[in-house]
Structure 1
Amino acid sequence: MITIQEALDLVLSQKQSYGIEEIPLTEAVGRFLAEDIFTDRDAPPFDRVMMDGIAIHLADLQDSLKPNYPIQGIQAAGSPQMNLIDTSHCLEVMTGAILPINTNTIIPYEEIEIKGGKAHLNIEKVAKRFIHYQGSDSKKGEKVLGKGKQINTGDIGILATVGQAKVKVAKLPKAAIISTGDELVDVDQSPLPHQIRKSNVYSLWASLHQDGIQAEMHHILDDKEALREKLSSLVKDFDILLLSGGVSKGKFDHIPEILEELGVQKLFHRIAQRPGKPFWFGHHEEFNTKIFAYPGNPVSTYVNHLFYFKQWLHASLRIGWRFETKELGEGIPGNPNLARFISVNLDHENGKAFPINHNGSGDLFSLAHTDGFLLLPQREGDYSKGERFPFIAVR
């Protein structure tokens, strides 16, 4: 067995750039920017009215307001800029409109009454307010989004504002997710007493989907010839294969043998960790395919994917990635032979991580109550309360 760090180094040694592509803005959420984004003009591009009401010219903050202001006209949003000709008058203004020339203060409708063509004020003094000044958010030419950022829903609005109808993003690998085993049935089927529904492939699909990867799902029965035939095709057709199950020491765990028969170079099999010890990782040089073959227990699959694959993907996309650390909320015994990913809940007041009880790596339902995993290194002594360790969040 190798250590977690040795395994991670081998995984990252296979990082792979897949190039850049330009996609429509409507398809960009979740993708990783391949360019810096700059504002094409000031934001906002003009002094913008922030409240519905009237615009007046206030010469001095200490000036008393007039009891009423005759209304010269209405400055609507989207209309060309108007000019307040007489500073003893006012203009009605709508939220989002350009601030009229010769005005510097907005008084909301809530503080006035309009009658007889005049705005009657129910306040005596007012500050210069409710104006969103030009360039106060961002100046023209300022970088607002950086290369490598994963585009979220808020970023979509920014990209639209700066005119990015198309966005350059990192091209993603073509992925296939493969489950194996005679005991698995589709999610819409009723299992027999000795069967279970597929779950790992859906967790993996959802995780890839979060990163913009649209993966295909496949299932292969525990038959060596069927495994060999199907995997031979998939290795040629995809950039990455994610397998769940068939890599332990059981008599029907044929995956490692078949992958090597197909010319896949094994980089490691078995890591000194719990859960997920039987993880198998390899590379097919001719087709440049990376194979992540996870053990079948759901928590083992899940934590290996979050820790190893996520770091590989970010390295491949040339995006920095570092897990935050959390403080252990209580002491627990050490383990000199195995590093451990322990399921934890976070105290939402102080952020400390507390281990939770569950039924091992086969307990899928424990994930419903898990905020994430602390990575505890191999150690002779105990892990002490208050120590900080890498935290892998459940996403």
Structure 2
Amino acid sequence: MNQALSKELKPTKNLTVSHGGCGSEEGLISVDQALQMLLDHTQSLDIETLTLDQTLNRYLAKAVYSKINLPLFSQSAVDGYAICAAPATLGMGTSFELIGEIRAGQNLEIQLQQGQAIRIFTGAKVPANTSTVARQEIVQLLDNGETRKIVLTEPLQSHADIRDVGEEVACGQLLADLGQKLSVGAIAALSMAGVKNIEVFKYPKIAVVITGDEVSVNVEDLASGKIFDANAPLIQAWFQSRSQEVDIMHVADTEQAVTALLNRLKNEYDLILTTGGVSVGDYDFVRPVTLKLGFEQIFWKVKQKPGKPMLFADLLRQDGSHCYLLGLPGNPAAVYAGMQIYTATLVKVLQGQKKLPEWFSGTIQHELKADTRERFLRMTVQFNDGQLLLNSLSKQQSHMLSNLMHANCLVRVPAGEKMVVGTKLQGLFI
């Protein structure tokens, strides 16, 4: 695992460079092939029932239909007066006998008669025979101690300011569909409809394995050639931003240590996410150990930069369940790109979402040199005059992360051709 941070951030006009025949290596698959293989070779997890307050950012495993009308009953949309009158008698100066008051939450069995009105508040159930509601701003209250009445100071339309029963949602109406992600707003809407429990796809139990003897635990270790760990905090924060917990652990670069850890994890977790150890170096043990433990390799090495030596493998356990392993290279920029593109896709597929990433289209504002591999560049995007405008940042090497202080998108740059100003490119907001 190789991790470091850079210091300068400057926009660049020409981002780099050909790396000889590296991108021409046999056996490499394209980014789109790799993503499609994630979809094709991953099974969704089982379904569980949770209380609504536990389901933020989860995916629905079953459509939800309303069991009630919304509103539950016809109600006042304002503070004012419910009136019983024919439309012809709603002119300015018309008076009505005031017979009482209804507050929100009360269920008074009152039936208005012609010429009568009742004080009502927002959300209160309108009584039977209500023709309209007059907001309090257009009503004058007259009280001589014996009788009370109201007088309209403006003409009033029939059926004004009444929320009709079921006007928002009818009983039996679809509220949320299979596969829908439960956002804050979705949870609020379902709660208003009285939904208490909901069926969702289980969230995968995920183990994160950080490989590498060079990772520092404290400042004193730096003097011995070690470096700070960026990958564990990066991955932990990535999952935290999605309201998910993962188990993070470190392992030494020895075959025995990697074997012992992966052998234990394969029976306990739905997904093992590793960083480092997936290339062909003398201390890259993740891939050979994974295969030795019985995993089937789905793909290894993607024609992209950063993150070429990526591994995806599947273990079918004796009970018919699966343990998947996604091995990301150790360089932190490769880890970052891998999380945004591949981990995000895989975690969604495990929750029933067999969908490719949703790329936006933006316009590059400067030239980019050709490269033999498709690149994922950290850029800034801003909306201007109806367009999304893209600008690259410097320090794009795979061991550098400092430009993430400014980047707000990750952009796909096709291989083998120079990008001229105005070229349309695909990207992901980050």
- TM-score, normalised relative to structure 2: 0.81
The equivalences for 1:83-122 within 5 A come to 83-112=110-139, 114=141, 116=143, 118=148, 120=150
Distance in 2 separating the partners of 1:113 and 1:190: 76
The equivalences for 1:275-290 within 5 A come to 275-286=306-317, 288-290=322-324
Please give the per-residue CA displacement for 1:20-68, whole angstroms capped at 9, x wherever unaligned: 1111222111111011111112211221211122222353278423365
Q: 1:348 aligns with which of 383, 391, 415?
A: 383
Please give the per-residue CA displacement for 1:247-288, whole angstroms capped at 9, x wherever unaligned: 345543332233233333333332211121222222234463
Kept after mapping to 2: 8 A contact 1:344/1:353: no
Aligned CA distance change for structure 1 residues 28 and 145 (closer, same or farther; 3 Å): same
Please state whether the residue corresponding to 2:98 is helix, strand or coil.
strand
- 1:123 and 2:149 equivalent? no
Please give the per-residue CA displacement for 1:3-28, whole angstroms capped at 9, x wherever unaligned: 22232233233211222111122211
Please state whether the residue corresponding to 2:261 is helix, strand or coil.
helix
Name the structure, 1 or 2, with higher relative contact order (CA <8 Å, separation 6+): 2
Between the aligned residues of both structures, percent identity stands at 22
Aligned CA distance change for structure 1 residues 203 and 108 (closer, same or farther; 3 Å): farther
Q: 1:66 aligns with which of 84, 93, 117?
A: 93
- TM-score, normalised relative to structure 1: 0.88
- The equivalent of 1:78 in structure 2 is 105
Q: How many residues align?
A: 391
Q: 1:292 aligns with which of 326, 330, 347?
A: 326
- The equivalent of 1:168 in structure 2 is 199
Aligned CA distance change for structure 1 residues 241 and 144 (closer, same or farther; 3 Å): same
Question: What is the identity, as a one-letter code, of the residue corresponding to 1:254?
Answer: F
- 1:148 and 2:179 equivalent? yes
Instruction: Structure 1 unaligned segments of length 5 or more: list them.
Output: none
- 1:32 and 2:32 equivalent? no
- 1:378 and 2:408 equivalent? no
Question: What is the identity, as a one-letter code, of the residue corresponding to 1:237?
Answer: E
Question: What is the identity, as a one-letter code, of the residue corresponding to 1:329?
Answer: I
Give the stretch that moved more between structures: 336-345 or 279-288: 279-288
Deviation at 1:143, TM superposition (A): 0.8
Distance in 2 separating the partners of 1:190 and 1:55: 73
Aligned CA distance change for structure 1 residues 52 and 185 (closer, same or farther; 3 Å): farther
The equivalences for 1:264-283 within 5 A come to 264-283=295-314
Distance in 1 separating the partners of 2:368 and 2:227: 34
Distance in 1 separating the partners of 2:368 and 2:300: 27
Give the stretch that moved more between structures: 297-306 or 76-85: 76-85
Deviation at 1:241, TM superposition (A): 0.4
Instruction: Structure 2 unaligned segments of length 5 or more: list them.
Output: 1-27
Distance in 1 separating the partners of 2:262 and 2:117: 76
Q: 1:232 aligns with which of 233, 239, 263?
A: 263
Aligned CA distance change for structure 1 residues 197 and 65 (closer, same or farther; 3 Å): farther
Kept after mapping to 1: 8 A contact 2:236/2:246: yes
Aligned CA distance change for structure 1 residues 136 and 203 (closer, same or farther; 3 Å): farther
Give the stretch that moved more between structures: 30-39 or 126-135: 126-135
Give the stretch that moved more between structures: 58-67 or 264-273: 58-67
